[in-house]
Amino acid sequence: MTFILDNFIRGMGMKIIFTDSYDQMSRRAANIISAQIILHPQTVLGLATGTTPIGTYQQLINWYEKGDLDFSQVITFNLDEYYGLSGEHPQSYRYFMDTYLFNQININKKNIHIPNGMTSDIDAECAGYDQAIEDAGGIDLQLLGIGRNGHIGFNEPGSSYEKLTHLVTLTENTIQANARLFAKKEEVPTKALTMGMKSIMHAKRILLIANGPAKIQILNQALYGSITPEVPASILQLHPDLTVIASQK
């Protein structure tokens, strides 16, 4: 009985949409984000970097350019930033966001929040980030990608579900995966500041996007397997409003 009830409760707030292409996945995700902005122009968005959301951001830019979207009152909080990289570093997440989204829309730069990877006071930076999220009224819609090991943000397997923004040491797996973006593997930072699992679970709505066959196995494990810190994304099964958009090809 407990088992049946548990399975019933888990995933009750979950919607899963499969698409046949990256473009369709991106368009669906952008649809959800744009509806949120149109209905609530002062919305607070949680944003992710990585290769997966680039198409979603491009679609949002296209709709902005057509005059269908207005970002002037939108507030954003990014999930994470490498520790030790400044926003001018081409591999920093700040640089990524400026390039793939912020420089191409009418967002007020004052409304953009990304952890400061160059901080000299990590505790103050993390506490200030959490406070800023709270002061903004919390995150209305959090966009997430998923790592092949089930990480979300930089919350690696084994991360506590209790953490807000904090400093993490990246796993070898993640350093390897990210090395493709740096000239040498040795240049990949080994630490990062990330919103914690608790920060993510506090978001009112979550939109997880996953692209291609390489993500299907971990997605299955995260959405239908046991809820365990070894698969950080598995906690999302307990979120009351989770939408997953996965491209199968």
- Contacts to ligand F6R by CB under 6 A: 48-52, 79-80, 145-147, 151-153
Which of 156, 166, 178, 202 is labelled catalytic? Answer: 156
Q: Which is nearer to ligand F6R, 70 or 89 (CB)?
A: 89
Which of 31, 62, 149, 173 is labelled catalytic? Answer: 149
Find, among 220, 55, 49, the residue nearest to 150 by Cα.
220
Which of 111, 125, 151, 166 is labelled catalytic? Answer: 151
Shortest Å, Cβ 151 to ligand F6R: 5
Shortest Å, Cβ 78 to ligand F6R: 7
Strands 242-247 and 205-211 come out as parallel
Structure-block tokens of residue 35? 């509806």
Which residue shows structure tokens 């506590």?
A: 160
Q: Which is nearer to ligand F6R, 38 or 181 (CB)?
A: 181
Q: Which residue is nearest to ligand F6R (CB)?
A: 145
Structure-block tokens of residue 107? 């967002």
Question: Which residues partner with 167 through β-bridges?
Answer: 193
Query: Does the annotation count 140 as an active-site position?
Result: no
Q: Which is nearer to ligand F6R, 19 or 49 (CB)?
A: 49
Which of 78, 80, 113, 116 is labelled catalytic? Answer: 80
Q: Which is nearer to ligand F6R, 145 or 189 (CB)?
A: 145
Please tell me the distance from the alpha carbon of residue 57 to that of residue 55, in angstroms, as a whole number.
5
Shortest Å, Cβ 178 to ligand F6R: 8
Shortest Å, Cβ 125 to ligand F6R: 17
Please tell me the distance from the alpha carbon of residue 194 to that of residue 84, in angstroms, as a whole number.
13
- CA torsion sign for 45, 46, 50, 52 is negative
DSSP state of 215: G
- CA torsion sign for 127, 47, 90, 167 is positive
Query: Does the annotation count 31 as an active-site position?
Result: no
Query: Does the annotation count 151 as an active-site position?
Result: yes
Question: Which residues partner with 143 through β-bridges?
Answer: 207
Which residues are known catalytic residues? 80, 149, 151, 156
